[in-house]
Amino acid sequence: MALSGLHLLLTYQCTSECDHCFVWGSPWARATMPLSMIQEILDQADELGTVRSVFFEGGEPFLYYSTLLEGIRLATARGHWTGIVSNAFWATSRQDAFRALSRLVQAGLQGIQLSADRLHSPLKNDPRPRFAAEAAKDHHEAADPAPVLPILCCGAALLYP
Ligand code: SF4
């Protein structure tokens, strides 16, 4: 079977500490992927010639925003579809979330998956995943031509009851 997608764990550090986390993400985890390693992995993907998509996740990838931004840029420049998995801790309002996504969208970001179900969001009625989803939708509608920016949410029913 050909390898068609990469999921890069930018860091094990996270603002949450979910019981089920398969990387044991937490605010105290420290390991972080440097840009040089991302470049090396993308070089290997080029050699393979079968990789089409690159996801950036963690831990929480927004904790290392400049590495995330440059990673999206590098993967896009090599012709890959790019996405992010995030718990949306950074989406303090719809407008702020729009701004946080702007540079990533300009760099080539095409998808964002929000970890927003009851297992990921201990805060009841936490509005941040909804703000992030709305901001992603705003980007999708504002762009000309519209980028593919699907909102693939765990627990979508929570966001759109
Ligand atoms: S939000 Fe995701 S990365 Fe963070 S601790 Fe929970 S499962 Fe792990």
Task: Read off the pLDDT of residues 81-125 as tens digits, 9 standing for 90 and up.
Answer: 999 999 999 999 999 999 999 999 999 998 898 887 777 766 667
Cα–Cα distance, 106 to 103 (Å, whole number): 5
> What beta strand segments (E) does 1-149 contain?
5-9, 53-57, 81-86, 111-115
DSSP state of 38: H
**61 Cα: distance to centroid of ligand 1 (angstroms):** 10
pTM of the shown model: 0.90
Single-letter code of the amino acid located at 36:
S
Mutating to test ligand 1, I would choose from 12, 33, 120, 123 the residue with most ligand atoms within 8 A of its C-beta, which is 120
Candidate of 13, 15, 21, 154 to mutate for ligand 1, largest count of ligand atoms within 8 Å of Cβ: 21
Q: Where do the domains of the chain lie, and which CATH numbers do they carry?
A: 5-25+33-159 (3.20.20.70)
- Position 79 scores a pLDDT of 96
The residues of the chain scoring below 70 in pLDDT are 121-124, 144-161
Which residues lie below 8 Å from residue 124, measured CB to CB, with a gap of 6+? none
